[in-house]
A and B are shown apart, each in its own frame.
Chain A
Amino acid sequence: MVESRLAATLEALGEAVTIQSADGRSIYANQAALDLLKLSSLEELVATAPGEISARFEIQSEDGTPINVSEFPGNRALRGEEYPSLLVRNVVRATGEERWLLNKATVLKDSENRIEMVINLIENVTAPKQAERRAKFLAQAGKTLASSLDYKQTLENVASLAVPEVADWCAVDLVDADGDRESVTVAHVDPTKLALAGELRRYDTRELDPSEGLGAVVHTGETQVYQAIPDLSLAEVALDEEHLRLLRAVGLHSVVMAPLRTAHGTIGVLTLVNAESRRSFAPEDIELAEELARRAAAAVENARLFSERTHIARTLQENLLPEALPQIPGWQLGALYRPSGGSTEIGGDFYDVVPTAAGWVLVIGDVTGKGVTAAGLTSLVRHSIRAIAHYESEPATIIERLDEILRDQRGMQTCTVACIRLEDEAVTGAAGGHPLPLIVGPDGVNAAGEPGSLIGAFENGKWPVWRASVPRGSSLVLFTDGVTDSQAPDGERFGDQRLAELLAAAPSLDPPELVRHIDAGLTAFESAIQADDIGVLIAKSLAPTHGNGQTSTSQRQGSLSKT
């Protein structure tokens, strides 16, 4: 009577309960427990050997190591060992269904303190556990996606993060504006399986069929789900015997294809495949795939916008430099411009050679600041100087006018500029906050001129005019602070001294070679990525034997060709 009441109470419980006798046999399970164990009746439990039941499930600890049933708390208790509660991942081999079960045991003893029976309580914690693992996975995936602007690399990393945690396979394909696909990554924990994927790729067409699979996802922007794919449909999609063999070898069970959507449409597809694990995708898994695809799409979009911005900024900046240097009687010119290594954060170095009524004026300058704003200001400065030079031919006056223009701007807009007019074996110049030029010749390396105020910064700036002789065969070297501020891997700056030594080692080179010499010297010294851009403009006073045959060179280098 008592027993049947007890049984009735246990049946009514939502929690799964099983009872083991002292010899370890299962003698009772309530309905909830039978459901969990996928048994149709108590009779089936009693009639089936314990090992046979556990063989129907794959049982693992949270870190994925297999767990033997003998380690369950009930069995430990029966052996007289400690029996803490045990959380296991339990996958039904027949269906691939994943459950998270928390097993606890209680021991009932008789009056002589012998174990009479063990009551096992199995709590199904699948929903909270899966939610926790999904949240953890998404957080990690989000971090990975945000870690770099190399989206192919980050998509690869995310895909390998997804297997086998979320699915057996994870792949990402991107589609371009023409609808052509590009396979970015395929991940699986087993390399031999990956080889299969490689072979299957041969059957991919570049153009997608909008009526099915990837093509349908791209076309509709909707997720496609195929659960428990029968062999029959594999035979239907297979293009030939070999294709079918490969599809069978992968053992496709369930597939989710989620769109990588942006404001401009679907740019790709994230595919999750379950095969050998025979897991089906729960609605939460499909949501997870969609969320992952959303985040991946945002990462790809960001990276694309970023590279587009870099391209715009670079183009803008390169247009701030003269296409070619002019031919100037009595002088030979050479120039170097190298953008900073720091991606879009372009600096504002520029140089120009401007005609005035009194002769050619060399201009070199540096706008403080970075990015597109700096490029805009550089454009203003360069074109202002060109316009001023129509009316003014004195370097100091050109700078004074430029200073007025900059002080009329909103906010503090400053720049450094040196303006140097080329004359016969001499120059007249003025500098506004800019490093003073060097004269390189038989007498060694000497700084020329006098400093003047930073442009755009002060009321009543002062720009002393100076004249320097540049004897034939000597070169005037103008440079921006990117040269002297250039940094070695140990943090050491290149500095004035090294620049002077570099130039002193090659006093008679023609400007194009001297520019290369400086570039090589800096490259040898510095680390791969420099914070600032570098500008150099060189004018060599020609020996009379050169006559009119002088040449000029403008050497520009992208950061890619830097190393």
Chain B
Amino acid sequence: MIRPAEFRVEVDRGQSAVKLRIVGEIDIARIKQLEQSRDGVLAGSPSTLVIDLSKVGFLDSSGLKFLLQTNERVQGLGCELQIVRPAESVMKVFTLTGADQRLPFVDPGTP
């Protein structure tokens, strides 16, 4: 598979909120890494998990499923999920599937 673009997950641990900032393209090849990052930070029982998609250039159906599963997971853990809205081209995947109405999106710049 082609992997020209960089991909990384930056973890920013605050007092009670943890932010996962994803940089690059999210497709099925990245899901394992994302799940590991997510499970790693959720193990610390944060009160808020922020997944920042503002630096994501592409997200496919496996990325969408990852976010839906994460949304389900945090509810059982009493953790609040916030997803920082991606660029309009990426947002299309969410509007096409109705997930824009179901996932807790926040605008970039929201503290």
Give chain A residues whose Cβ lies under 8 Å from the Cβ of B58: 485, 493
Please tell me if the beta carbons of A529 and B1 are within 8 angstroms of each other in the complex.
yes
Check A203 for interface membership: any CB of B closer than 8 A: no
Please tell me if the beta carbons of B27 and A485 are within 8 angstroms of each other in the complex.
yes
Give chain B residues whose Cβ lies under 8 Å from the Cβ of A454: 64, 68, 97-99
Check B72 for interface membership: any CB of A closer than 8 A: yes
Give chain B residues whose Cβ lies under 8 Å from the Cβ of A487: 1-2
Please tell me if the beta carbons of A531 and B97 are within 8 angstroms of each other in the complex.
no
Please tell me if the beta carbons of B61 and A368 are within 8 angstroms of each other in the complex.
yes
The total number of A-B Cβ pairs within 8 Å is 76
CA–CA, A493 and B2, complex, Å: 11
Chain B interface residue bracket vs A: 20 to 34
Check B77 for interface membership: any CB of A closer than 8 A: no
Our pick among A458, A481, A488, A493 for the contact of B98 (Cβ within 8 Å) is: A458
The total of chain A residues at the interface (CB under 8 A) is: 35
Please tell me if the beta carbons of B27 and A531 are within 8 angstroms of each other in the complex.
yes
CA–CA, A345 and B2, complex, Å: 16
Please tell me if the beta carbons of A489 and B98 are within 8 angstroms of each other in the complex.
no
Return the chain B residue nearest A431 by Cβ: B96
Please tell me if the beta carbons of A457 and B102 are within 8 angstroms of each other in the complex.
yes
Our pick among B25, B28, B62, B97 for the contact of A453 (Cβ within 8 Å) is: B97
Please tell me if the beta carbons of A433 and B96 are within 8 angstroms of each other in the complex.
yes
Give chain B residues whose Cβ lies under 8 Å from the Cβ of A529: 1-2
Give chain A residues whose Cβ lies under 8 Å from the Cβ of B87: none
Please tell me if the beta carbons of B98 and A451 are within 8 angstroms of each other in the complex.
yes
Please tell me if the beta carbons of B27 and A453 are within 8 angstroms of each other in the complex.
no
Please tell me if the beta carbons of A451 and B68 are within 8 angstroms of each other in the complex.
no
Return the chain A residue nearest B1 by Cβ: A531
CA–CA, A458 and B65, complex, Å: 12
Our pick among A342, A414, A434, A485 for the contact of B60 (Cβ within 8 Å) is: A485
Please tell me if the beta carbons of B61 and A412 are within 8 angstroms of each other in the complex.
no
Please tell me if the beta carbons of A490 and B98 are within 8 angstroms of each other in the complex.
no
Check B5 for interface membership: any CB of A closer than 8 A: yes
Check B95 for interface membership: any CB of A closer than 8 A: yes
- What distance in Å separates the Cβ of A94 from its nearest Cβ neighbour in chain B? 57
Please tell me if the beta carbons of B69 and A412 are within 8 angstroms of each other in the complex.
yes
Return the chain A residue nearest B68 by Cβ: A457
Return the chain B residue nearest A452 by Cβ: B98
Our pick among B4, B29, B96 for the contact of A491 (Cβ within 8 Å) is: B4
Chain A, 413-427, CB within 8 A of any chain B CB: 414, 416
CA–CA, A530 and B5, complex, Å: 15
Interface flags for A343-373 (1: CB within 8 Å of B; 0: not) read: 0010000000000000000000010111000
Please tell me if the beta carbons of B61 and A370 are within 8 angstroms of each other in the complex.
no
Give chain B residues whose Cβ lies under 8 Å from the Cβ of A369: 62, 65
Check A435 for interface membership: any CB of B closer than 8 A: yes
Give chain B residues whose Cβ lies under 8 Å from the Cβ of A435: 96
Interface flags for B18-52 (1: CB within 8 Å of A; 0: not) read: 00000001011100000000000000000000000
Return the chain A residue nearest B92 by Cβ: A496
Return the chain A residue nearest B66 by Cβ: A368
On whether A412 and B65 interact (CB within 8 A), knowing A457-B102, A458-B102, A527-B2, the answer reads: yes
On whether A453 and B2 interact (CB within 8 A), knowing A414-B65, A493-B58, the answer reads: no
CA–CA, A529 and B64, complex, Å: 23
Give chain A residues whose Cβ lies under 8 Å from the Cβ of B97: 416, 433, 451, 453-454, 457
Check A221 for interface membership: any CB of B closer than 8 A: no
Task: Using A454-B99, A458-B98 as known contacts, list a sample of 8 further A-B pairs with CB atoms less than 8 Å apart, ordered by residue number in A.
Answer: A342-B1, A345-B28, A369-B62, A414-B68, A451-B96, A457-B97, A487-B2, A489-B4
Which B residues form the contact surface with A (CB < 8 A)?
A: 1-5, 25, 27-29, 58, 60-62, 64-65, 68-69, 72, 95-99, 102
Which A residues form the contact surface with B (CB < 8 A)?
A: 341-342, 345, 366, 368-370, 412, 414, 416, 433-436, 451-454, 457-458, 461-462, 481, 485, 487-491, 493, 527, 529-532
Sampled A-B contacts (5; CB under 8 Å):
A370-B28, A414-B65, A454-B68, A481-B60, A489-B4
